[in-house]
């Protein structure tokens, strides 16, 4: 694999986007940064702006208000950028599937902007930090294969 | 020195500063992890960061001033490279120093911070403007105590602006440890904490508050250049401190070389420990700290040096 | 002062204006009012030290019932004012006129149930999306989901029942 792909797999900077979550998944993501799970071992750092991001951690199903904003955040992220849908609501809208305020699961909303987006799913309500780390690592391995 | 040797020195110094800077960036992250009871990233992490950033796309926002936006990181990088070259040249051969090179190094080392200001102001983004204005206020606050802290070194070197003379002074008889120099060292240590953009003074680049401030709109290779510049500053600024205020680097004997390296690492580790044990301060608190705390302290150091050198 | 004392005071001062006063359980008192007296009863409870915990709305056949829940923490009592907003107009006086704490919850009830609060200092839309159509109130019982969603899935009102039946048929 070339050095750029190696760099992407060893240093994925993540940007957290909450498009309508109840905050449980957000708390579990924060847990990943704590000394017990320590995702900085993998080079993952929480960055303040989508421009610096290699992975968008999306939590929650997309509400009508958040839909254009999520699409804008994805467009403004510097490519290559993968999307990790964390939690049952991000994978499929979860229990809010038929609700009046939902505009769809994040993967459908992002594929409207970029049909070739690399999207990984971490189910759970909320997923344990171990599951989030496993999902992130698998997504990176798949990205390396897809980009090589 | 002739042009060929100068270019060679620039090349060697920049390569050395980049390698050393990235290694020290790892030291920073590893010590931070140890303080926080974590494992921390592997030794090649900063290299991976730079490699990844070089592979991303460069986005220039529509509202941004393209020239300023793209030139700012390059200008900062170039200034740091030249400052590194001067420091390397002077430490390898103190006779190669020219009159005023200390002033030139201090001047060159303000340029990376100015590059951050220009980059942030050209971003076309209110967060960038916020970061630029905060960095400007910080520069106005810490430059004066930094220069004043260098004065005891200049006086101890025999009223000179030559770094070579300052390095050679302890061997020539002047005391290498005086109260004035120690106070100056402490003041300069606080000032480089702000120059490096580290907590408690990383106000311009506050991640949680202003979305990265001046770096908000940067992505890809320009961000990589900023990253490498900050890594190089992590090597160059402690080197300047050791050179001017702590006797310089001597590689004559094994003992002297080990002492030089230990001095340098001590400065870096103190910087990292201060970073990990303090909260970020507000911009007005920082300005008050520099203007009403450090500047008087530096003036005390200058007065003590003047008194001490009076025959 | 205790609960009985408070109930007696309410009965004395407001008795004529209440449609009903019920004590259900040791800590709960329910006052039912007609829309024209709602503001006065709310102001009375607020001035006696009641803290508006929240307000809820119920879509009943002929009216929408807006319940204001006041906590009297020192007395360990919650007094609920059930104000009726008769359909089709569904209008009530805005309690936000008396104290600003009621402003947001009344905006939310206005968005979701369609109760019009007269005299509200800031009657803007609060929680529905900007592109949500006017006049469609999602928490009313006659709200039809398939007409007003853009998830792009064609679903019918008894969508859930159809899914269960097909799952059972598949065995």
What ipTM score was computed for the predicted complex, to two decimals?
A: 0.91
Average pLDDT over residues A107-126: 92
Do A49 and B211 make contact, defined as CB atoms within 8 angstroms? yes
| CA within 13 Å, CB half, C34 | 7
How far apart are alpha carbons B85 and B75 in whole angstroms?
15
Shortest distance, CA C66 to any CA of chain A (angstroms): 22
Give the pLDDT score at C164: 59
The mean pLDDT value of chain B amounts to 89
pTM assigned to the model: 0.86
Is pLDDT at B274 greater than 80 in this prediction? Answer: yes
Do A79 and B44 make contact, defined as CB atoms within 8 angstroms? no
Give the pLDDT score at C168: 66
How far apart are alpha carbons C164 and A97 in whole angstroms?
16
Report chain B residues whose CB lies below 8 A from the CB of A51.
Answer: 59, 216-219, 223
Is pLDDT at B1 greater than 50 in this prediction? Answer: yes
Task: Select the residue of A7, A40, A47 nearest B52 (Cβ to Cβ).
Answer: A7
How far apart are alpha carbons A26 and B125 in whole angstroms?
27
Residue A63 main-chain phi, psi, to 5 deg: -80, 165
- Mind listing the pLDDT tens digit for each residue in B38-59? 998 999 999 999 999 999 999 9
Q: Return the CA Rg of chain A.
A: 14
Please, what are the domains in chain A? 18-147 (3.40.50.12280)
The mean pLDDT value of chain A amounts to 91
Is pLDDT at B245 greater than 90 in this prediction? Answer: no
Which three-class secondary structure state does DSSP give residue C81? strand
- Mind listing the pLDDT tens digit for each residue in C103-114? 999 999 999 999
* Number of CB atoms found within 10 A of residue A105's CB: 26
Shortest distance, CA A120 to any CA of chain B (angstroms): 20
Query: With contact defined as beta carbons under 8 Å apart, do C78 and C29 qualify?
Result: yes
Higher per-residue pLDDT: C17 or B117: B117
Is pLDDT at C161 greater than 70 in this prediction? Answer: no
Query: With contact defined as beta carbons under 8 Å apart, do B125 and B63 qualify?
Result: yes
Give the pLDDT score at C153: 46
Question: Residue C132's closest chain A neighbor by CA?
Answer: A64
Is pLDDT at C162 greater than 60 in this prediction? Answer: no
Is pLDDT at B157 greater than 70 in this prediction? Answer: yes
Q: Closest by alpha carbon to A28, among A60, A75, A74, A1?
A: A60
Do C150 and A64 make contact, defined as CB atoms within 8 angstroms? yes
Q: Which of A19, A62, A94, A98 is the best substitution to test chain C (most C C-beta atoms within 10 A)?
A: A98
Give the pLDDT score at A19: 93
Report chain A residues whose CB lies below 8 A from the CB of B39.
Answer: 38, 40-41
Report chain A residues whose CB lies below 8 A from the CB of C128.
Answer: 101
Domain count, chain B: 1
Q: Which two tokens stand for residue B242?
A: 């050791």
Report chain A residues whose CB lies below 8 A from the CB of C160.
Answer: 98
Q: What size, in residues, is chain B? A: 311
Question: Residue A98's closest chain C neighbor by CA?
Answer: C145
Full residue range of the structural domain in which residue B86 is found: 3-309
How far apart are alpha carbons B163 and B85 in whole angstroms?
13
Q: Give whichever of B2-6, B137-141, C164-168 has the largest mean pLDDT.
A: B137-141
Q: Closest by alpha carbon to C70, among C82, C89, C87, C54?
A: C54
Q: Which two tokens stand for residue A24?
A: 């449980």
Q: What is the band of B177 on the pLDDT scale with cuts at 50, 70, 90?
A: confident
Average pLDDT over residues C54-70: 93
Q: What is the band of B2 on the pLDDT scale with cuts at 50, 70, 90?
A: confident
Which three-class secondary structure state does DSSP give residue B249? coil
Query: With contact defined as beta carbons under 8 Å apart, do C6 and C77 qualify?
Result: yes
Q: Which two tokens stand for residue B175?
A: 């005391």
Higher per-residue pLDDT: B267 or B179: B267
Which of A34-43, B206-215, C3-12, C131-140 shows the lowest mean pLDDT across its residues? B206-215
Give the pLDDT score at C155: 44
Which three-class secondary structure state does DSSP give residue B284? helix
Higher per-residue pLDDT: C159 or A129: A129
Average pLDDT over residues A93-104: 86
Average pLDDT over residues C115-122: 93
Average pLDDT over residues C85-111: 93
Relative to beta strand A82-86, strand A55-59 is: parallel
Give the pLDDT score at C167: 64
Give the pLDDT score at C126: 92
DSSP string, B110-161: HHHHHHHHHHHHTT-SHHHHHHHHHHHHHHHHHHHHHHHHHHHHHHHTTS--
Q: Which two tokens stand for residue B100?
A: 């005023």
- Maximum separation of any 2 CA atoms in chain A, in Å: 47
DSSP string, chain A: --HHHHHHHH--EEEEEESS--SHHHHHHHHHTSTTT-GGGGT-EE-SSGGG-SEEEEESPEETTHHHHHHHHHHHSPSS-EEEEESHHHHH-GGGTT-TTEEE-HHHHHHHH-TT--EEEE-SSSPPHHHHHHHHHHHHHHHHHHH-
How far apart are alpha carbons C16 and C140 in whole angstroms?
31
Q: Which chains touch B (3 or more CB pairs under 8 A)?
A: A
Please, what are the domains in chain C? 3-127 (3.30.460.80), 141-171 (no CATH)
C115 CB contacts (<8 Å, ≥6 apart)?
Answer: C57, C64, C66, C85, C90, C91, C92, C106, C109
């Amino acid at each position: 694999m070339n050095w750029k792909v190696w760099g992407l797999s060893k240093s994925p900077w993540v940007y957290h986007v909450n498009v309508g979550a109840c905050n449980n998944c957000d708390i579990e993501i924060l847990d990943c940064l704590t000394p017990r799970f320590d995702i900085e071992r993998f080079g993952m750092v929480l960055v303040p702006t989508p421009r610096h991001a290699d992975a968008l951690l999306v939590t929650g199903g997309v509400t009508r208000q958040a839909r254009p904003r999520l699409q804008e955040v994805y467009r403004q992220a510097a490519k290559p950028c993968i999307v990790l849908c964390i939690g049952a609501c991000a994978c499929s809208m979860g229990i809010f599937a038929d609700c009046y305020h939902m505009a769809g699961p994040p993967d459908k909303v992002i594929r409207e902007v970029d049909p070739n987006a690399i999207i990984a799913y971490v189910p759970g309500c909320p997923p344990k930090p171990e599951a989030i780390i496993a999902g992130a690592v698998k997504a990176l391995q798949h990205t390396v294969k897809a980009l090589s | 020195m002739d042009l060929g040797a100068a270019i060679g020195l620039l090349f060697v110094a920049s390569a050395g500063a980049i390698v050393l800077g990235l290694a020290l960036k790892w030291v920073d992250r590893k010590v931070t992890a140890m303080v926080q009871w974590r494992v921390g990233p592997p030794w090649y992490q900063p290299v991976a960061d730079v490699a990844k950033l070089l592979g991303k796309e460069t986005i220039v926002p529509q509202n941004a001033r393209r020239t300023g936006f793209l030139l700012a990181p390059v200008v900062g990088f170039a200034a740091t490279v030249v400052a590194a070259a001067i420091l390397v040249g002077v430490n390898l051969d103190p006779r190669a120093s020219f009159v005023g090179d200390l002033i030139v190094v201090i001047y060159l080392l303000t340029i990376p911070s100015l590059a951050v200001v220009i980059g942030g102001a050209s971003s076309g983004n209110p967060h960038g403007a916020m970061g630029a204005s905060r960095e400007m206020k910080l520069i106005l606050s810490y430059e004066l105590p930094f220069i004043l802290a260098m004065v005891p070194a200049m006086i101890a070197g025999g009223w000179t602006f030559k770094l070579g003379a300052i390095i050679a002074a302890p061997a020539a008889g002047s005391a290498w440890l005086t109260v004035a120099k120690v106070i100056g060292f402490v003041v300069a240590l606080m000032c480089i904490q702000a120059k490096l953009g580290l907590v408690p003074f990383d106000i311009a680049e506050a991640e949680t508050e202003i979305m990265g401030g001046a770096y908000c709109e940067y992505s890809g290779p320009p961000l990589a250049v900023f990253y490498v510049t900050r890594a190089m500053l992590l090597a160059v600024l402690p080197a300047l401190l050791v050179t001017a205020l702590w006797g310089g680097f001597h590689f004559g004997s094994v003992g002297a070389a080990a002492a030089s390296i230990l001095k340098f690492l001590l400065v870096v580790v103190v910087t990292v420990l201060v970073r990990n044990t303090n909260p970020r301060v507000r911009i007005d608190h920082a300005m008050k700290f520099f203007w009403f705390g450090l500047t008087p302290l530096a003036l005390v150091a200058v007065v003590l040096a003047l008194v001490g050198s009076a025959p | 002062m205790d609960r009985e004392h408070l109930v007696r005071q309410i009965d004395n001062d407001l008795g004529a204006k209440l449609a009903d006063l019920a004590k259900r359980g040791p800590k709960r008192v329910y006052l039912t009012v007609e829309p024209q007296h709602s503001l006065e009863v709310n102001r009375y409870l607020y001035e006696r030290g009641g803290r508006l915990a929240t307000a809820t709305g119920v879509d009943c056949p002929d009216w929408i019932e807006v319940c204001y829940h006041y906590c009297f923490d020192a007395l360990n009592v919650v007094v609920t004012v059930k104000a009726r907003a008769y359909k089709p107009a569904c209008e009530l006086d805005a309690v936000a006129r008396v104290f600003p704490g009621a402003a947001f919850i009344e905006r939310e009830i206005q968005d979701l149930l369609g109760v019009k609060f007269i005299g509200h200092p800031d009657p803007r839309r609060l929680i529905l999306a900007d592109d949500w159509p006017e006049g469609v109130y999602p928490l009313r019982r006659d709200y039809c989901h398939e007409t007003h969603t853009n998830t792009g899935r064609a679903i019918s009102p008894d969508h859930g029942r159809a899914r269960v039946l097909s799952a059972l048929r598949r065995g």
